[in-house]
Homo-oligomer: A and B are copies of this chain.
Amino acid sequence: MLSSAEPCHDVAHLGHVELLTDKPQDSLDFFVTIFGLTESGREGDSVYLRAFDDYEYHTLKLTAADTTGMRHVGYRCASPQALSRRVAAIEALGAGIGWSDGDLGHGPAYRFRDPDDHVFEIYYETQRYQPPASEKPALKNQAQRFPARGVATRRLDHFNLLATDVGAIRDFLPQALGSRVTEQIVLDSGTVVGCWFTINNKSYDVAYGRDSTGTHGRLHHVTYAVDQREHILQAADIFLDNGIFIEAGPHKHAIQQTFFLYVFEPAGNRIELANAGARLILAPDWPTVTWTEEERGRGQAWGLKVPESFYTHATPPVGRG
């Protein structure tokens, strides 16, 4: 059936991540003063944040809680009709939770669970960011003035979750969101232990790795993009001077070739800075790149072996969620 082969463009892009913190003031200080995000507003236990090129009201909802990790993630659909089509598809998968009235910054959202119990929502109506006078950019094709404070964070890039069964996710996301699998890691046994998905021309907007603890619903990291690799090197110095723990990098991933740096924000959530260079997935029929155990054993692109914590630490820590 040829028509089934057509790429799906119902979902436009990753919209926002809601991150939980049990050190809300420290986390907020980190994201604003060091990480370079800007506050859009507050409501209840949450502060809404964004990077200077994020066009929506927010891309990070930072919520005070008694734990850490990701409460939900939002994707913006391409049109009202596309939203309807996705809701129907997700309901058919039996994964739906139902509609919410929306949030600061966006309209009605339909929530569902992935097979590992992470909560997703999809929405169409959104609120474009309107900068106050002090944040008006000199160039009108940019959402906000570059803050020139801390890290040169430009926009939300992707997020990374853990799942006990990555293979189930690989089946689910293409049906739920219309995602494509751009790269994956398959063990010699045939088990999928890593999977990278995209719903547009970015090489990935979400990746999953295996949660070997058997826990469900955990977050590995949230990633923002910077314009140049040099901005990641600068960021490393800023993190160092501010006592932010650097877990790994700067280095280049073999998978997806992203230049990266991983740190822990004060509450323990892993945050990544990334630069993909000019790399895009333009081919409509991009064949999934599969990495073997042996290939993964070589480490990152230039040989770095990430520390053991990269395979064990996620939020919330086991036993706390």
Give the B-binding residues of A (Cβ under 8 A): 2-3, 5-7, 9, 12-13, 34, 53, 55, 76-82, 137-142, 145-146, 148-152, 154-155, 157, 183, 200-202, 225-231, 233-234, 236-241, 243, 246-247, 249-252, 254-257, 259, 275-280, 282-284, 286, 289, 291, 295, 301-304
Interface contact B280-A202, CB-CB below 8 Å: yes
With A139-B301, A246-B303, A301-B240 as known contacts, state yes or no: A7 contacts B9, CB within 8 Å.
Answer: yes
Interface contact A282-B141, CB-CB below 8 Å: no
Task: Name the one of B81, B276, B277, B304 contacting A6, with C-beta atoms under 8 angstroms.
Answer: B81
Interface contact B148-A254, CB-CB below 8 Å: no
Given contacts A7-B79, A53-B279, 11 further A-B contacts (CB under 8 A): A6-B81, A7-B9, A13-B282, A34-B148, A141-B289, A154-B278, A200-B200, A225-B278, A229-B230, A246-B303, A276-B278
CA distance in complex: A255, B202 (Å) = 22
Interface contact B259-A302, CB-CB below 8 Å: no
Interface contact B141-A255, CB-CB below 8 Å: yes
Interface contact B234-A152, CB-CB below 8 Å: yes
Of A255, A257, A277, chain B has the most CB atoms within 10 Å of the CB of: A277
Residues of B within 8 A of A5 (CB): 79
Residues of B within 8 A of A236 (CB): 252, 301-302
Residues of B within 8 A of A284 (CB): 12-13, 76-79
Q: Please name the 10 residue pairs, one residue from A and one from B, whose CB atoms are nearest each other, closest first.
A: A227-B277, A13-B282, A201-B201, A225-B278, A78-B284, A230-B230, A12-B284, A9-B9, A236-B302, A138-B240
Interface contact A141-B257, CB-CB below 8 Å: yes
Of A53, A79, A141, A157, chain B has the most CB atoms within 10 Å of the CB of: A141
